[in-house]
Amino acid sequence: MEIIRAEKMGFCFGVEKAVETCYDISKKTNGKKYILGMVVHNKDVVKDMEKIGFEVVNEDEILDGRDNLKKDDIVVIRAHGTTCEVIKRLKEKEVKIHDATCVFVDRIKEILIKREEVGDEIIFIGDKNHPEVKGVISFGKNVNVFKNLEELKGSPLNVSKKYSVLTQTTLNKEKFLEIKEYLQKHYPNAQIFDRICGATSERQDATKKLAKCTDVMIVIGDLNSSNSKKLLEVALACNPNSYLIQNENELNLSIFNEKMSIGITAGASTPEEIIKKIENKIRGNFNV
Ligand code: SF4
C-alpha cells in the first residue's frame, strides 16, 4: 500500500493566518473572545476555536443589535473579511478588532476604493451572497455585481464610461479568461484587474493529477464546504473511487486493500492534524 498526498492541499495562506491569529490571542488573553462568522469553513476547526475560548458572533447579530459584545471584548475578523458597516458597528462598541482578512482580499478592496476615487465605475464578478463579495463591495459607492459572463452579457455596458473590473478571489480562472476576452472585444473602455487567488485552482489541479494515478482518492474536508465538495467533483471525474470525509471517524477501512495506492487531498480549510489522523488510521490498519 502506498499513501500519496496531493502536491497542494489543506490550509491556504489566508486561513492559516486567521487560525494562527486566534491561537496567539488565546495564549495572551483570558477575556471574552469572538470570531466573526466561521473563521474557517470547517466544523472541527470551529470546535477547536471554541475549546480555546472563542465564541462565534454573526454579522446579522451585530447589525441588528442582538450581539452580546462589550467594550474591550476581542473580535477576530475572518480570512474573507467583512463589510464596512460591521466594522463601523464594532468600532462604536469599542471592541478590540483583530483583522485577519487575507491580504489578497484586502488588495481587491484597495483597488476598488482607488479606482472609484479616479472616477471609474466598478464591475465586480462574483457571488453577491458570499461574505467576501459582500465585504469588498461594501467599500464601494455604486458597484455592479455580475455572477458570470451570461449575467454580464444580459446587462450591456456604456461604451463611453470608464470601468474597472474586479473579481472574487476564488473565481474560476477559465471563467475569468472568457469574461476578459468578451470585455476586451466589446468594451475597450474597461480596465481588467486579475487578482484571483491561486489557492483554489492549485488544489483542484493537484487533485486531478493525483486522482488519475491512484486506486482510491480520499478528499478530506467539511461536508458543507464548497471548496471541498468541488475537490470531490474533480476527483470523481478522474476516479470513481473517490470519497469526501470530514474526519477519521468517517473513514471506512473496508474500501482499501494492501495493494492499493491511496491519494489524499484536503480542502483549504482542513487542518493538518485531521489529515494526519486519517493517514495514521490507514497506516495503523495496514501496517505501512
Ligand atoms: S483562498 Fe486565497 S484569498 Fe481566500 S483566504 Fe485563502 S489565500 Fe486568501
pLDDT by residue (tens digit) across 127-150?
999 899 999 999 999 899 999 999
How many Å lie between the centroid of ligand 1 and the Cα of residue 178?
A: 22
User: Can you give the pLDDT at residue 225?
Assistant: 81
Select the more confidently predicted residue: 172 or 98.
98
Q: Is 276 exposed, middle or buried (0-12, 13-18, 19+ CB in 10 A)?
A: exposed
Instruction: Supply the pLDDT for residue 156.
Output: 86
Residue 117, C-alpha cell as written in the block = 476615487
Ligand 1 geometric centre to CA of 210 (Å): 22
Tens of pLDDT, residues 55-85: 999 999 999 999 999 999 999 999 999 999 9
Kindly state if the Cβ of 199 falls inside 6 Å of ligand 1: yes
Q: 234, 244, 246: which is closest to 270 by C-alpha?
A: 246
pLDDT confidence band for 226 (50 / 70 / 90): confident
- CATH classification code of 13-100: 3.40.50.11270
> Which of 11, 15, 39, 168 is the pocket-test mutation for ligand 1 (most atoms within 8 Å of CB)?
15
Portions of the chain given CATH number 3.40.50.11270 = 13-100
pLDDT (tens digit, 9 = 90+) per residue, 185-211? 999 999 999 999 889 889 999 999 999
The CATH code of domain 2-10+199-286 reads: 3.40.1010.20
β-bridge pairing 242-245 and 216-220? parallel
d(CA 61, CA 50): 18
Residue 40 confidence (pLDDT) above 80: no
Query: Which residue, judged by its Cα, is nearest atom 8 of ligand 1?
Result: 14
Question: Considering the domain 104-192, what is its CATH architecture?
Answer: 3-Layer(aba) Sandwich (3.40)
Spatial distance between the Cα atoms of 283 and 288, rounded to a whole number of angstroms: 5
For CATH 3.40.1010.20, list the domain ranges present in the chain: 2-10+199-286, 104-192
